[in-house]
Structure formats: structure tokens, C-alpha cells
């Protein structure tokens, strides 16, 4: 039987596919973040609450994909792997990335469930702080992604 294997990037655990999924999840998170931030002042609670909930879901998916898929897969790379430089970089940056994850999860938890008026009133400043943390995370992730893609280019050569 000589059937061709069809790659399934949605379910793949290969690093290039995981990176593509991470970047797509990150993009979706950022789009929702910007749409939510554009609603300020947050006077119309119904549309803002709906968008906030959706953003929270997508944000958690993005954070989990990074931690439980990309970084775990990188960390499991053996020393002779073409991804060992990316693995070592990810290990060095992991503490900083974990800090941004913690900040994002604090935001998520603070805005989970029914929101009181004082909590709702702080959404603008909390989104700003979250945006700063996401910017740090993106910068760190981009360094790791570049290292992975550099390894992919070496493999293709």
C-alpha cells in the first residue's frame, strides 16, 4: 500500500505546525483585545461583556497553546535535535514568559463572572496593563519563533 500521508496541521505536534497555531491564536487574541479596548468608555455593558468573555476564552487558549504545546515540545527536544538552540533559548526565556502568563491569568480571573461597578470601572486601566504584558510576551515569543524557523531553514537546506 503506497498511500500518501496527508499532514494535518490542526492536530500536528510538529514544531512548525505548533508555531503556526500559536501565531494564529495570538493574532485572534490581539484582534479581540483591540476590539474590546476600542469600546471604551465601557458604557454599553452588554456588548462589552460579551466581547470580554470571548477575549478571555481566546486569551486562555493562546496562553495554553504556548505553555502546553510549543514550550513543552521544545523542552522535550533532545540535545542533538536541530531545535536545540531554540530549546535553550525557550528555557532561558521561560521565567519571563511565565510572568506574563501569570499577569494575563490574573486579568482573566479578575474579570470572570459577574462584575461589580468598581471592577468594571477599572477595565480600561487593567486592559492597558495587560497590553503591556502581552507586548513583552510577544517580543519573547518572536525570539523563540525566529530560532525555530532558523532551525527549519537549516533542515530544509
What is the DSSP secondary-structure string of 108-133? HHHTSSS--HHHHHTHHHHHHHHHHH
Rounded to whole angstroms, how far apart are CA atoms 133 and 123? 15
Instruction: Please classify residue 101 by burial: count the beta carbons closer than 10 Å to its beta carbon, then call 0-12 exposed, 13-18 middle and 19+ buried.
Output: middle
pTM: 0.85
Domain ranges of the chain: 15-156
Cβ density class 104-134: b for 16+ within 10 Å, e for less: beebbeebeeebeeeeeeebeeebeebeebb
Closest CA to 135 of 89, 94, 103, 110: 103
The domain 15-156 having CATH identifier 3.30.360.10: the answer here is no
DSSP 30-61: HHHHHHHHTT-S---HHHHHHHHHHHHHHHHH
pLDDT 10s digit of each residue in the chain, 157 long?
333 333 444 445 789 999 999 999 999 999 999 999 998 887 667 888 899 999 999 999 999 999 899 999 999 998 888 999 999 999 999 999 999 999 999 999 999 988 888 888 889 999 999 999 999 999 999 999 999 999 876 666 5
CB contact at 8 A, 36 and 128: no
Residue 40 CA neighbour count, 13 Å, CB half: 13
CB contact at 8 A, 100 and 136: yes
CB contact at 8 A, 151 and 85: yes
Amino acid at each position: 500500500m503506497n498511500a500518501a500521508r496527508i499532514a494535518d496541521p490542526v492536530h500536528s505536534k510538529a514544531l512548525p505546525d505548533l508555531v503556526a497555531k500559536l501565531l494564529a491564536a495570538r493574532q485572534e487574541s490581539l484582534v479581540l483585545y483591540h476590539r474590546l479596548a476600542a469600546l471604551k468608555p465601557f458604557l454599553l455593558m452588554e456588548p462589552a461583556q460579551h466581547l470580554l468573555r470571548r477575549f478571555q476564552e481566546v486569551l486562555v487558549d493562546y496562553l495554553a497553546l504556548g505553555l502546553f504545546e510549543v514550550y513543552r515540545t521544545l523542552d522535550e527536544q533532545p540535545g542533538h535535535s536541530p531545535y536545540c538552540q531554540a530549546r535553550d533559548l525557550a528555557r532561558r526565556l521561560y521565567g519571563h514568559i511565565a510572568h506574563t502568563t501569570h499577569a494575563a491569568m490574573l486579568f482573566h480571573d479578575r474579570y470572570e463572572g459577574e462584575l461589580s461597578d468598581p471592577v468594571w470601572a477599572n477595565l480600561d486601566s487593567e486592559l492597558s496593563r495587560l497590553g503591556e504584558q502581552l507586548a513583552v510576551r510577544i517580543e519573547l515569543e518572536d525570539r523563540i519563533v525566529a530560532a525555530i524557523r532558523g532551525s527549519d531553514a537549516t533542515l530544509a537546506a
